[in-house]
Amino acid sequence: MGKLYIVPTPIGNLEDMTLRAIRVLKEVDLILAEDTRTSGRLLQHFEIPTQMQSHHMHNEHKMVDRLIKKLQAGETIALISDAGTPAISDPGFLLTRACVENGITVDCLPGATAFVPALVNSGLPNDKFVFEGFLPVKKGRQTRLKFLAEESRTMIFYESPHKLLKTLGNFVEFLGDDRKVSVSRELTKLYEETIRGTTTEVLKHYTGNPPKGEIVIIVAGKK
């Protein structure tokens, strides 16, 4: 039997790449990359010559059986995403589940993921929290927001810059205008920033300052 490695990659700052991650990516037979162009720059930077293959949300279903056969034949495979830890709002779950079902070892390396630093530096309670990822775009969005209005744990969301104002507006509507929120963007990068305040205050800030970059929203639970 081969082995599947889940390998986190930096979310911005290349210095966050671990020595173990570099070694594993050099030693495996194949690297599955969400976007081979993006990952190609990473591999070139760390002088990793391993062959890459595209593995993303549009082809992961039809690739699973073929990859399982490779692993059963003794190959070692590493799965990476464009940034952060695979399977966290990125492809990875389907292949991991198939490996577990087929008795193939899965080794997930610790490493970069965006929501942990965003949660820790938010100043909001982090002893108990719930990861929501991206909210539904249309169907089920209001239902989910109404449900989360009663959530007592700190909540974590991912959002794109062009949808941030809509989402903050939804939080004002469904969670209240005084709910504490922290918005972190461009984590580990040159223009990293975290804006904290009430839903109304943070919405006002970004209305006057259109956001750019990857965004993590931390929202206080209901008291």
Each residue of 161-209: pLDDT tens digit?
999 999 999 999 999 999 999 999 999 999 999 999 999 999 999 999 9
Per DSSP, which regions of 103-179 are E strands? 105-108, 129-133, 154-159
Rounded to the nearest 5 degrees, what angle is found at the Cα of 140, between the Cα atoms of 135 and 141?
Answer: 40
The pLDDT value given to residue 45: 97
The pLDDT value given to residue 57: 84
**DSSP summary character for residue 74:** T
Question: 222: helix, coil or strand?
Answer: coil
Q: What helix, strand, coil percent values describe the chain, rounded to 5?
A: 35, 20, 40
The pLDDT value given to residue 215: 97
3-state secondary structure 108-120: ECCCCCCHHHHHH
Answer yes or no: are the C-beta atoms of 213 and 183 closer than 8 Å. no
Tokens 């490695």 belong to 5
The pLDDT value given to residue 19: 98
Return the structure tokens found at 65.
């059986």
Task: Please identify every stretch of the chain with a pLDDT value under 70, giving residue numbers as ranges.
Answer: none
pTM of the full structure: 0.93
Each residue of 118-131: pLDDT tens digit?
999 999 999 999 99
CB-based burial, 24-38: b 16+ in 10 Å, e otherwise:
bbeebebbbbbeeee
